[in-house]
Amino acid sequence: MAAFVLPHLFFLFVLPYFSVAQTNGTVTVGASLTTEDATPWLSASGDFAFGFHQLDNKDLFLVSIWYDQVPDKTVVWYANGDNPAPRGSKIELTADRGLIFSSPQGEQTSISDPIIGVVAYGVMNDTGNFVLVNKNSELLWQSFNQFTDTLLPTQIMENGKFLSSRQSESNFSRGRFQLSRLNGDLGLRTVNIPGNFRNNPYYFLSTGNSSGSGSGSSSDTLVFNKSGDLSILRDNGQELVLSRGDDAQAYDFYHRVTLNFDGVLTHYSHPKAKTGSSSWIVLWTVPVDICLSTVEDAGSGVCGYNRICRINIDRRPECECPRPFSLLDPADDYRGCVPDFVQDCVNEPSSASNLYDFYRVTYIAWPTGDYDQLEPYDEESCQEACLTDCMCAVAILKGNICRKKKLPLSNGRLVNHYGTAFIKFRKTNSSQNPALPVPGRNNQDGLVILMSAFLGTSVFVNFILISVMCIGFLLIYRYKLTTIGKAESVVERNLRCYTFKELLDATEGFKEELGRGSFGIVYKGVVQMGGSNIHVAVKKLDRILQDGDKEFKTEVNIIGQTHHKNLVQLNGYCYDGPHRLLVYEFLSNGSLAGFLFGDLKLSWNQRTQIAVGIARGLVYLHDECSTQIIHCDIKPQNILLDDYFNARISDFGLAKLLRIDQSETHTAIRGTKGYVAPEWFRNMPITVKADVFSFECCFWRSFVVGKMWIWRLVEREQF
């Protein structure tokens, strides 16, 4: 009996100590974690966790500290970003070396170097700081002294320290951007990796603007206090506040300042309560437009070589390869873009014009790298000068000045009223070397040889040849007729037919919502096209006629036949059981409404360009495509903008599929209240002028331009 009772009494006696050890954040010497452990080392409040954070590659882990109460488990510190830990790795707290990382092969490295003294225990604090102390509670090491990409409240950054961005949202390797304290200057810089050379700052925090120079001293300190205020504490006692939290609500919110992988420094907050917003809220960000702030004499700029930087509505840069360039490494955006062709050296204008042509693009600028300047020049002479120059990749004409640029191009960005860029590309049907014989002469020589052979053969052989040729022509003719018949089916067209499972996987379970409209919800997805991953917009049609199978196929067939630069292109569809979905090209600039009613405003030149683009798209739908299409719902939310702010009309051709009782006005009207034409209210026949009326209302309210000018522009097709 005693043998049974005594162990249980002992267990009851020590149980409170185990409970304290699990809730006060203390980690004893000898404690360890493995990649298979579900429970990390938690702080007393449970807000922060230390352990192995699983990456997208399920077999790799990050030794890190993260917000454990936030749904996405936001990582705020990490130790092995360049070399993620494989499955089977281990962390152990030792007395002599502190935190020791062991690989599955038994190789050991110290995470907490240097340690001077003997570690008594570790503590995961509620500030997010993991510390190691001796038996006298004296600090031996702390994670706050090993900076990664994030500052937490109560953390300070002294001279010589820096934050380093990660390589991408999910890749924690060292990135290209730094927030550094050098010689008293606190600035954002790019770094030429894999080396450590820092380029000149593209933004100074010590002056509060992007064009000045640093004015701090080496004793200035960057302080992120417990109230969520980010400020510079000068050696003379003055405090320069960069971003404020809310002192009254400081304990109701988590705060962090992160140097994002794209070079933007951002102050975030997140409510601690389980209800309310489930995402981080942006309180402050610098620079406001990193695309225009960063100009480097050396280095590739924000986006990498031969890329274009543009700012989105969230003030974050988005990078694209201009035509005719493609990503050098799809797994690493910042390695830049390379041309899709090999440029030969052709000095003769006639030969060069047979081989090369230009993409004419406005608003694109590469402010550095001019190697030649010509004036006074017009468009034709500027293009010709680049065409016959073996080094010229791009010519930019601004006014009467023609500037030639060679590869690689750096610091590319969108700039209003910058000029016109002529990007040289090789014609796809001109792959032959101009030094080779003329193709026409080859054809003539071949014809002579064929006729000679034909006339030199016997009559019987000629009869056999003629018979075979006639049968061949007959088979080809019948095949063409069959192909034309099949082409009337949606499935046989260029549109891809997806299963619902494919689109469910492509959108990660319809995770990221892009917008909502009369026909359903639009989600962002990624599909494979031509061997590469392509972003798409997937529209779930949840308000269409359920029994209109034939009508759905007909309308999708019509939409798939439309091709115009001012229409959103349909790439595929889903017709799987009760599921009806459409797959469109993805336009990352979003809708026109986001610019009209948001913080970022369009210039008048851009507004005019967009108005004319929509007018062109409507004329095509009304008069130029094979089947006339009346949109019925022209509004800013249905006008999308491409990378160069060209207008693209979406949701055309779907009005016939919308259930009348599900239209936004809850009447027989198809369209959005405030934009519909009077005909809808009077039971009059609906014509293309219903779209013209909606277009007029849309731009009268949003663009504040003359009604009659817009009406005449569309009615007379003057563009």
What H or E segment, with its residue span, contains residue 527? strand 520-529
What residue spans of 529-688 are helical by DSSP H?
549-561, 592-596, 604-619
Cα dihedral 681/682/684/686 (nearest 10): -10
Cα separation, 680 vs 301, in Å, equals: 53
Q: Are 222 and 234 in contact (CB under 8 A)?
A: no
> Which residues are catalytically annotated?
633
Residue 530 makes CB contacts below 8 A (sequence gap 6+) with none
Radius of gyration from C-alpha coordinates of the chain: 33
Which DSSP letter does residue 105 get? T
- Three-state secondary structure call for residue 224: strand
Cα separation, 228 vs 237, in Å, equals: 20
Crossing angle (nearest 10°) for helices 707-715 and 604-619: 40
Cα separation, 331 vs 592, in Å, equals: 31
What CA–CA distances, in Å, run from 432 to 349, 350, 438, 643? Answer: 16, 15, 10, 33
Nearest Cα to 333, choosing from 263, 405, 257? 263
Where residue 411 falls (left for φ over 0; alpha for ψ -120 to 50; beta otherwise) is left
What residue spans of 314-458 are helical by DSSP H?
349-355, 379-387, 439-455
Do strands 420-426 and 496-498 pair parallel, antiparallel, or not at all (unpaired)?
Answer: unpaired
Do strands 570-576 and 496-498 pair parallel, antiparallel, or not at all (unpaired)?
Answer: parallel
Return the residue matching tokens 């100590």.
17
Which DSSP letter does residue 562 get? -
Q: Are 694 and 655 in contact (CB under 8 A)?
A: no
Return the number of other C-beta atoms located less than 10 Å from residue 712's C-beta: 12
Q: Are 529 and 612 in contact (CB under 8 A)?
A: no
Q: What is the strand order of the sheet 130-133 is part of?
A: 26-28, 121-124, 130-133, 139-142
